Structure 1
Amino acid sequence: MKVLGLILAGGKSDALGKLVYKRASAAVPVFGKYRAIDFTLSNMVNSGIYKVGVLTQYNPRSLMDHLGSGKEWDLDRKHGGLYILQPYLGMTGEYWYRGTADALFQNTTMLRRGDEDYVIIGSGDHIYKMLYNDIYSYHFAKGADVTLVVKELDETYDITQYGVVTTEPDGRITQIQEKVQNPSTRKAFLGIYFINKHLLLELLYDTVPAGKYDLLLDVIIPNLSKLKVYAYEFSGYWRNVKKGIAEYYKMNMEVLNSPAIREELFVKYGKVYTKLKDYPPAKFTGTAKVSNSIVADGCIISGNVKNSVLFKGVVVRAGARVENSIIMQDSVIEEGAIVRNAIIDKNCVVRAEQMLIGDFEPVVLEKWMVI
Structure 2
Amino acid sequence: MARENTLAFVLAGGQGSRLFPLTRQRAKPAVPFGGSYRVIDFVLSNLYHSGIPQVCVLTQYKSESLGRHVREGWQHRFGSQRDRFLAMLPATQNETGEGWYVGTAHAVAANVDQIKKQKPEIVNILGGDHINFMDIGQMNDFHRIRKAALTISTIPVPREKAANAYGVLKVDEKGKVLEFQEKPANPAPMPGRPTHCLASMGNYTFNSSTLVKKLEEDAGKDSVSNREAIKENPNFLSSHDFGFDVIPAMLREGLSIFAYDFSTNVVPGISKEDQGYWRDIGNIDEFYLANMDVCASNPGLNLYNEEWELLTNPEHVQPTKFAGRNGSSGHVEDSILAPGVIVSHSHTKDSVISYGVHIHKGSDLEGAVMLGYNNVGRNVVIKQSIIDKGVAIPDNIVIGVNAEADKARGFTVSPGGITVVPKGYKWK
Q: Report the TM range for the smaller structure's normalisation.
A: over 0.9
1:190-201 paired onto structure 2 within 5 Å: 190-201=201-212
Distance (whole Å) between structure 2 residues aligned to residue 195 and residue 232 of structure 1: 13
Aligned to 1:288: 330
2:185 to 181, 187, 205: 181
Deviations 1:14-70 (A, max 9, x none): 211110000111111111011111101111111111210011111111211111155
Distance (whole Å) between structure 2 residues aligned to residue 83 and residue 157 of structure 1: 37
Aligned to 1:368: 424
Distance (whole Å) between structure 2 residues aligned to residue 215 and residue 19 of structure 1: 26
In the TM superposition, what is the alpha-carbon distance from 1:258 to its structure 2 partner? 5.3
Distance (whole Å) between structure 1 residues aligned to residue 277 and residue 132 of structure 2: 6
Distance (whole Å) between structure 2 residues aligned to residue 196 and residue 268 of structure 1: 32
Deviations 1:138-163 (A, max 9, x none): 11211111110101124895553211
Moved more, 139-148 or 76-85: 76-85
Distance (whole Å) between structure 2 residues aligned to residue 280 and residue 335 of structure 1: 23
Matched, 1:96 2:104: no
- Contact kept, 8 Å, 1:326 with 1:344, in 2: the verdict is yes
Alpha carbons of structure 1 residues 262 and 184: separation in structure 2 relative to 1, 3 Å? closer
Matched, 1:206 2:211: no
Distance (whole Å) between structure 2 residues aligned to residue 72 and residue 354 of structure 1: 42
Count of matched residue pairs: 369
Gaps of 5+ in 2: 190-196, 223-237, 264-275, 404-415
2:257 to 210, 221, 229: 229
Specify the code of the residue in structure 1 equivalent to 2:245: D
Moved more, 53-62 or 206-215: 206-215
- Contact kept, 8 Å, 2:316 with 2:355, in 1: the verdict is no
Moved more, 285-294 or 169-178: 285-294
Distance (whole Å) between structure 2 residues aligned to residue 67 and residue 35 of structure 1: 10
1:347-362 paired onto structure 2 within 5 Å: 347-358=390-401, 361-362=417-418
1:309 to 352, 366, 369: 352
SS of equivalent to 1:255? helix
Moved more, 77-86 or 165-174: 77-86
Alpha carbons of structure 1 residues 230 and 70: separation in structure 2 relative to 1, 3 Å? same
Q: Report percent identity of matched pairs.
A: 32
- Contact kept, 8 Å, 2:162 with 2:199, in 1: the verdict is no
Q: Give the TM-score normalised by structure 1.
A: 0.95
Q: Which portions of structure 1, spanning 4 or more consecutive aligned residues, are displaced by more than 6 angstroms?
A: none
- Contact kept, 8 Å, 1:254 with 1:261, in 2: the verdict is yes
Distance (whole Å) between structure 1 residues aligned to residue 112 and residue 153 of structure 2: 23
1:101-180 paired onto structure 2 within 5 Å: 101-154=105-158, 159-180=163-184
Distance (whole Å) between structure 2 residues aligned to residue 293 and residue 260 of structure 1: 11
Specify the code of the residue in structure 1 equivalent to 2:61: Y
Alpha carbons of structure 1 residues 154 and 192: separation in structure 2 relative to 1, 3 Å? same
- Contact kept, 8 Å, 1:70 with 1:82, in 2: the verdict is no
- Contact kept, 8 Å, 1:292 with 1:306, in 2: the verdict is yes
In the TM superposition, what is the alpha-carbon distance from 1:182 to its structure 2 partner? 3.3
Matched, 1:250 2:289: yes
Gaps of 5+ in 1: none
Alpha carbons of structure 1 residues 20 and 342: separation in structure 2 relative to 1, 3 Å? same
Distance (whole Å) between structure 2 residues aligned to residue 155 and residue 298 of structure 1: 44
Distance (whole Å) between structure 2 residues aligned to residue 37 and residue 288 of structure 1: 33
Alpha carbons of structure 1 residues 72 and 91: separation in structure 2 relative to 1, 3 Å? closer
- Contact kept, 8 Å, 2:75 with 2:85, in 1: the verdict is no
2:313 to 275, 286, 303: 275
Matched, 1:86 2:142: no
Specify the code of the residue in structure 1 equivalent to 2:168: V
Aligned to 1:322: 365
Distance (whole Å) between structure 2 residues aligned to residue 130 and residue 271 of structure 1: 12
Alpha carbons of structure 1 residues 143 and 158: separation in structure 2 relative to 1, 3 Å? closer
RMSD across aligned positions (CA): 1.8
Distance (whole Å) between structure 1 residues aligned to residue 177 and residue 343 of structure 2: 52
Distance (whole Å) between structure 2 residues aligned to residue 61 and residue 329 of structure 1: 18
Distance (whole Å) between structure 2 residues aligned to residue 28 and residue 156 of structure 1: 30
Who wins on radius of gyration, i.e. which is larger? 2
- Contact kept, 8 Å, 1:330 with 1:346, in 2: the verdict is yes
- Contact kept, 8 Å, 1:280 with 1:298, in 2: the verdict is yes
Distance (whole Å) between structure 2 residues aligned to residue 89 and residue 61 of structure 1: 18
